[in-house]
Amino acid sequence: MTDPIETEYKNKEKTVLERISLRDSNFFDEEMDKLDKWAEDVKNSMEIHLKELSKEVKFRKAEAKKIPKLEEKVKA
C-alpha cells in the first residue's frame, strides 16, 4: 500500500525537477544565442581586418614594383 505523503512528496519532487530542467534548458539556449552572436561579431571583425591586410599587401606590392633596385624592393 502506498503512503499518501510519500506519493505527494514524489509528485512535488517530479514537478520541481521538471521546472528546474526547463529553466536550465532555457538558460542554456539563451547562453548559446549569446555565444553565437559573439562568434559572429568575432568573425566579422576578423573579416574586416583581413580585408584591411589585403589592401595593405596590394599597396605594398604596387609600391615595390615602382622601385627599380632589388635591394630596395626587398626592404620595402
- pLDDT value for 66: 85
Q: Could you tell me which of 39, 38, 45, 42 has the C-alpha nearest to residue 53?
A: 45
pLDDT digits (tens, 9 = 90+) for 7-62: 999 999 999 999 999 999 999 999 999 999 999 999 999 999 999 999 999 998 88
Sequence ranges of the domains in the chain: 23-75
| Cα within 13 Å of Cα(8), Cβ side | 3
Alpha carbon distances (Å) from 12 to 2, 18, 61? 16, 10, 73
